[in-house]
């Protein structure tokens, strides 16, 4: 029964024009990608200032740079059980709040060891956020435009890379390298509020659950028309 229900949902979405409800999901997902990109590359932009302030060799930052990437890989792999139990929206909001909080904490690191640990924890959230944002958007996109919509949303990651460079060039001379991480932390934390309030839950997840969850699924579906 759940597969048939999911098929009906997709047929309904395919029959509708792209609605304001879907645009909202797209914009929120795009912003997640922007902040994900910003925080992923933030260390690369602040590394020269960090090396100068701490009086260390640039090679000493190798573990710091690698820690976030390891966290990204693990974060992307471990989200499945949480999504199955609590839903894709919950996982996305949690991961955005998580990587924002740890990016903010990273700005207060005093040693290479602390910064490495904080960046690893940041990476867990970064790795969990991206696939869930992409999958949620793909569920709400009509088949005819899914590739375009998902790729357009994913381009937010590239905008985040550029924003990181611009922010670093402007902030570091004025407020130091820690300010780059402060911005990268506050942004996701603020975004988690509209995500929690406005982002729709996965229709496929809701439709597969009994009771009030199915009612929520019906409400989300009706908003697409």
pTM of the model: 0.85
- Phi, then psi, of 224 in degrees rounded to 5: -80, -20
Task: Please report whether residue 108 resides in a domain.
Answer: yes
Could you give the number of structural domains in the chain? 1
The answer to whether 25 and 132 have CB atoms below 8 angstroms apart is no
- Phi, then psi, of 67 in degrees rounded to 5: -60, -45
Query: Among candidates 40, 161, 52, which has minimal Cα distance to 102?
Result: 40
* Mean pLDDT, residues 36-48 taken together: 93
pLDDT higher than 60, residue 217: no
Of 7-21, 52-66, 178-192, which range is least confident? 7-21
Task: Please report whether residue 14 resides in a domain.
Answer: no
Mean confidence (pLDDT) of the chain: 85
Q: How far apart are CA 157 and CA 168, in angstroms?
A: 17
Q: What pLDDT is stored for residue 183 in this prediction?
A: 96
Task: Please report whether residue 63 resides in a domain.
Answer: yes
- 3-state DSSP of the chain: CHHHHHHHHHHHHHCCCCCHHHHHHHHHHHHHHHHHHHHHHHHHHHHHHHHHHHCCCHHHHHHHHHHHHHHHHHHHHHHHHHHHHHCHHHHHHHHHHHHHHHHHHHCCCCCHHHHHHHHHHHHHHHHHHHHHHHHHHHHHCCHHHHHHHHHHHHCHHHHHHHHHHHHHHHHHHHHCHHHHHHHHHHHHHHHHHHHHHHCCCCHHHHHCCCCHHHHHHHHHHHCCC
**pLDDT tens readout for residues 194-211:** 999 998 887 776 666 655
Q: What pLDDT is stored for residue 9 in this prediction?
A: 67
The answer to whether 119 and 64 have CB atoms below 8 angstroms apart is yes
- Residue 150's alpha-carbon distances to 51, 75, 199, in angstroms, are 38, 21, 16
pLDDT higher than 90, residue 7: no
Task: Please report whether residue 153 resides in a domain.
Answer: yes
pLDDT higher than 90, residue 165: yes
pLDDT higher than 50, residue 133: yes
Q: What pLDDT is stored for residue 213 in this prediction?
A: 45
Task: Please report whether residue 50 resides in a domain.
Answer: yes
pLDDT higher than 70, residue 162: yes
**pLDDT tens readout for residues 140-161:** 888 888 889 999 999 999 999 9
CATH label of the domain that carries residue 143: 1.20.1250.20
**pLDDT tens readout for residues 102-129:** 999 999 999 999 999 999 999 999 999 9
Per-residue pLDDT band at 4 (split at 50, 70, 90): very low
Task: Please report whether residue 124 resides in a domain.
Answer: yes
Task: Please report whether residue 13 resides in a domain.
Answer: no
**pLDDT tens readout for residues 168-198:** 999 999 999 999 999 999 999 999 999 999 9
Give residue 121's domain range: 2-7+19-222
The answer to whether 182 and 46 have CB atoms below 8 angstroms apart is no
Task: Please report whether residue 114 resides in a domain.
Answer: yes
């Amino acid at each position: 029964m759940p597969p048939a229900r999911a098929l009906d949902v997709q047929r309904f979405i395919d029959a509708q024009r792209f609605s304001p409800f879907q645009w909202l999901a797209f914009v929120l997902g795009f912003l997640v990608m922007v902040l994900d990109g910003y925080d992923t590359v933030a260390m690369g932009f602040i590394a020269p200032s960090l090396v100068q302030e701490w009086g260390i060799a640039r090679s000493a930052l190798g573990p710091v740079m690698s820690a976030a990437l390891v966290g990204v890989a693990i974060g992307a792999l471990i989200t499945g059980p949480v999504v199955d139990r609590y839903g894709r929206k919950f996982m996305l909001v949690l991961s955005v709040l998580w990587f924002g909080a740890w990016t903010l904490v990273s700005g207060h690191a005093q040693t290479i060891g602390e910064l490495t640990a904080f960046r690893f924890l940041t990476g867990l959230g970064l790795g969990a956020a991206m696939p869930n944002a992409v999958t949620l958007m793909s569920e709400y996109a009509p088949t005819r435009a899914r590739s375009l919509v998902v790729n357009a949303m994913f381009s937010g990651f590239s905008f985040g890379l550029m924003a990181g460079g611009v922010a670093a060039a402007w902030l570091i001379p004025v407020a130091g390298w820690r300010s780059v991480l402060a911005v990268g932390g506050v942004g996701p934390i603020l975004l988690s509020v509209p995500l929690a309030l406005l982002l729709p839950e996965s229709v496929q997840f809701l439709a597969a659950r009994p009771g009030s969850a199915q009612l929520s699924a019906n409400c989300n579906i009706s908003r697409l028309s």
